[in-house]
Amino acid sequence: MRNLFPVSGFMLSVALIGAGIASTFAADETLRSYAEKNDIYIGAILNSQWFGGGLPAQYEQIHKTQFNIVVAENEMKFDATEPSENRFNYNNGDKMVKYAKQNGMRVRGHALAWHSQVPNWVNNYKNDKKKLLSVLKNHINNVVGHWKGQVDEWDVVNEAISNNEPMWRSYSVWYQGIGPEFIDSAFVWAHAADPDAELCYNDYNLEQGVNPKAKAGFLLEQVKRWVANGIPITCVGSQTHVEDTTTDKHFIGSPDSLRSLARELAKLNIKLKITELDIGFKSGINVSKSDLERQGQTFRQYLDIILEEPNADTYLIWGVSDKWSWLGGLNRQKGLIYDDNLKPKPAFDSLLVRLQNFEPPQDTIVTDTTSSDTTAQDSSIAIAQSAGPGSVTMHVAGRTLFIAGTQSAKVDVFDMRGRPVFSARSENGSVELKGIPEGLYVVRVRNGSASLTKRFAIK
């Protein structure tokens, strides 16, 4: 369970990032150590050069020291794992899974159904819906089945939504040959192959707001439908390939917009994960020290979503060092947290200082003003009033949740990774919160359209 009060430890850090003064940290203070203290995952790809053995040893040393989650840049995609029909190649994936297990890391699988990096033999069946369905089902059964219990989460479907308008991407052998229902089937098959794996829909440009015209708005409508239909989706992956705000005037994304998607997904009990983060600058421009410090602040703002939103738990960067990054293909540069010489950039410092100083958010422990009940003075747990007069309010004393403003309400309690840990109906204005271990939680009280969600800590 999340450490509520991270040990400050003996810090050698002189954290003056604002002044751009380099900071040094104690050896045991890593992104990974703080991620684990806060029950989240911070990671990076193992890039394709790693699989080929062409990297300096320092790359892997940094990777396993700083990160607790890993994904293969290309080596678990369709073309890599089933290069010819029904002939599977797991060698590189096995190498990564072995590395992850040796280093106690969580594993992301990327990606089962995607329009890109599909081997040519699949396109031979593009006009045969029945065959295409059996090809996709066979691929998922074999690949997910091979790594059952070893790959903790999958990008089941990647980039199925059009870039430009709120609709499905038509340029896709799966969409063209089967229709959008390939998505529903892919999730059902993946769940059957590994019922314990988390199953994500993954896409980019989801940090541009949740209005119906935006990609995330269209996705949200699909997630609501999938959830209502019992499709076993558990998470949305936001790739978050963004450009520094000063060099891309057209870029309309922002951390706040992504946070709004996280909050909408929380209502559906679906997680948000940042899965491919890089914050690049236009290629060819001179990137100054202040540019790199601003980049560091943007990296931190995206990390804040993972630290602060109860249904967000993963912060994965699409690379370790600027020396090896796909960004050149996108006419961008310097989008990662280590430089060409594998030295930490201001963005690394910005993340570590934020983690050092992060206290899990919780409501002010206040005396509840709606009750004369002296137990409400109980300092062990209380919940700040947040609703206005006449609406639903709640507070907790001891292990009892008191609800005012409604006689009957549905109560759900989630841990800080968005997993439901308790559910009950209150009929008389109170509920006993039984069997909940110490920790930080989010409690949601719903009565028809009225809904109140607050965090509290049981010490």
Kindly list the residues in this chain that would bind ligand G3I in the complex (CB under 6 A): 48, 73-74, 116-117, 158, 239, 276, 326
The contacts of residue 191 (CB under 8 Å, 6+ apart) are: 197, 199, 232
Active site residue 309: no
Name the β-bridge partners of 281. 333
Which lies closer to ligand G3I via its Cβ, residue 117 or residue 331? 117
Q: Given the structure tokens 């062990």, which residue do they identify?
A: 380
Peptide bond into 111 cis (omega under 30): yes
Tally the C-alpha atoms within 13 A of residue 381's C-alpha that lie toward its C-beta: 23
Residue 123 beta carbon to ligand G3I: minimum distance, rounded to whole angstroms = 16
Sign of the dihedral defined by the CA atoms of residues 59, 65, 67, 68, in that order: positive
Please, are residues 418 and 453 in contact by the beta-carbon 8 Å criterion?
no
Active site residue 82: no
Please, are residues 232 and 187 in contact by the beta-carbon 8 Å criterion?
yes
Residue 187 beta carbon to ligand G3I: minimum distance, rounded to whole angstroms = 18
- 128 phi and psi, to 5 degrees? -125, 90
Active-site option among 73, 276, 293, 309: 276
Active-site option among 29, 82, 153, 159: 159
Residue 168 beta carbon to ligand G3I: minimum distance, rounded to whole angstroms = 17
Calpha distance 397→379 (Å, rounded): 8
Calpha distance 66→34 (Å, rounded): 10
Which lies closer to ligand G3I via its Cβ, residue 189 or residue 326? 326
Calpha distance 35→156 (Å, rounded): 25
Residue 327 beta carbon to ligand G3I: minimum distance, rounded to whole angstroms = 8
Calpha distance 253→261 (Å, rounded): 12
Query: With 0-12 CB in 10 A as exposed, 13-18 as middle and 19+ as buried, what is 42?
Result: buried
Q: How many CB atoms lie within 10 A of CB 281?
A: 22
Which lies closer to ligand G3I via its Cβ, residue 117 or residue 127? 117
Dihedral angle computed from the Cα positions of residues 74, 75, 76 and 79, in that order, rounded to the nearest 10 degrees: 80
The contacts of residue 386 (CB under 8 Å, 6+ apart) are: 363, 393, 452, 454
Which lies closer to ligand G3I via its Cβ, residue 73 or residue 415? 73
Which lies closer to ligand G3I via its Cβ, residue 318 or residue 402? 318
Q: Given the structure tokens 């029909």, which residue do they identify?
A: 85
Provide the phi-psi class of 231: left if phi over 0, else alpha when psi is between -120 and 50, else beta: beta
Residue 456 beta carbon to ligand G3I: minimum distance, rounded to whole angstroms = 38
Residue 219 beta carbon to ligand G3I: minimum distance, rounded to whole angstroms = 15
Which lies closer to ligand G3I via its Cβ, residue 215 or residue 454? 215
Calpha distance 143→274 (Å, rounded): 23
Q: Given the structure tokens 């052998």, which residue do they identify?
A: 173
Nearest residue to ligand G3I, by Cβ distance, number only: 326
Calpha distance 258→182 (Å, rounded): 26
Which lies closer to ligand G3I via its Cβ, residue 30 or residue 325? 325
Which lies closer to ligand G3I via its Cβ, residue 38 or residue 325? 325
Residue 48 beta carbon to ligand G3I: minimum distance, rounded to whole angstroms = 4
In residues, how long is the chain?
Answer: 459
Residue 280 beta carbon to ligand G3I: minimum distance, rounded to whole angstroms = 11
Name the β-bridge partners of 201. 157, 236
User: What residues act catalytically?
Assistant: 159, 276
